[in-house]
Structure 1
Amino acid sequence: MREKHPRKRAAFEPLAAPVAHDPAMRRPAATVAGGVLVLLRAAAGIVWGLTVAFDLPPWVQAVAGAADGSGAEPTLTLSDLGLSAGVFFGILGVITVIQAVFGILLLRGSNVARVLVMLVSTVSIVSAFVGWWELGQEITVGTTLVTVSLDILVLLALSSRDAAAYARRNERR
């Protein structure tokens, strides 16, 4: 007969202690950071959309070209996307509003919003990686560097134990 080791844990047992029911829990810094980063992600999407739709001032083009190391001006335009300006801004507006709503829900402590934002961030990071690996797409300031970095920071913030505990603070165990 095998002897049980008191210091070993079962593989299915969670490492963190269960979260106590505490509706009065204060919002942790990780949740604030995650919510603000999601709102910044929405703002970054607006800025990206404006750079696609309108010509940038020369100094902004120079900064973007210097930041990605190529020295070239960004070349993505609405005609490259095959969309009219109305459709492009409509899609961009819907995505921005959804991200803003999720940012606000995160700040209010929604666990569903936290999990969905982490899933979308994971898909975004994986798709940028697949685009780089399989399609040879560059990851630059003008393409996906800002969004991927924000997605990584969002994942780090929202996957913390404090953020999870705050989002699950109203659940009864």
Structure 2
Amino acid sequence: MTDAAGAPRKRAAFESPARLARPLPFDPGMKRPMSTVAGAALVLLRVATGVLWLLSLGVQWPALVGEADADIAGISLTPDQIGTGFIAVAVVMGLVLLADGAFAVLILRGHNIPRVIVMTFSTISIGSAFVTWWAQGQEIRIHTTLVTLSLDILVLLALSSRSAAAYARRFERR
């Protein structure tokens, strides 16, 4: 079910599940929908916020290390050893951000697997924010999890749309 431009139409509230389960038509010439562009842009915005968070952590790290009194299972850690921890955090976070940026580019090009992976991680992130709010009473504030939570919700809404799914699966013969 498509409109005059060939984009999938929004489903009505009364649409039958059998009609919803029908496969979308094979359309390799489908134009990129705005939901795909918005989803990829939001993923890139999430990468940018991750970079800002990492830079902020790097600036605050010396103060955090100076205040730290790390004693894990009877083993005391020196500030130099704790400082090495930032390098490990930065490398892991950098790799995650790089992968997220690559997924954004692949989503924009119309690949389905990166779209599903990003939606899965957004769902896990939203779920973990809920669990920490529910179980530990962590408040959702602008300087803690509000920005990442809102970006994850928007990414999930954009990339789970019918038009984004149809674009990502436009080469599949059904």
Instruction: Give the number of equivalent residue pairs.
Output: 145
Partner deviation per Cα, 1:2-46 (whole Å, 9 max, x = no partner): xxxxx995x5x3516521111111100000000010111111111
Maintained 8 Å contact 1:53/1:77: no
CA RMSD for the aligned pairs?
A: 2.4
CA distance in 2, matches of 1:29, 1:171: 21
2:131 aligns with 130
Partner SS for 1:87: helix
Q: CA deviation at 1:80?
A: 9.3
- State which drifts further: 21-30 or 46-55: 46-55
CA distance in 2, matches of 1:101, 1:169: 21
CA distance in 2, matches of 1:42, 1:139: 20
1:152 aligns with 153
Equivalent pairs: percent with the same residue?
A: 52
1:40 pairs with one of 42, 45, 59? 45
Q: What TM-score comes out, normalization by structure 2 length? A: 0.75
Q: What TM-score comes out, normalization by structure 1 length? A: 0.76
1:70 aligns with none
Which consecutive unaligned segments of at least 5 residues does structure 2 have?
A: 1-13, 71-81
Partner SS for 1:25: coil
* Structure-2 change in CA distance of 1:8 and 1:123 (3 Å): closer
Matches within 5 A, 1:59-98: 77=64, 84-98=85-99
Partner deviation per Cα, 1:105-154 (whole Å, 9 max, x = no partner): 10011111111111110000000010011011121122111110000000
Q: CA deviation at 1:51?
A: 1.5
CA distance in 2, matches of 1:100, 1:30: 17
* Structure-2 change in CA distance of 1:170 and 1:80 (3 Å): farther
* Structure-2 change in CA distance of 1:80 and 1:143 (3 Å): farther
Q: CA deviation at 1:85?
A: 2.1
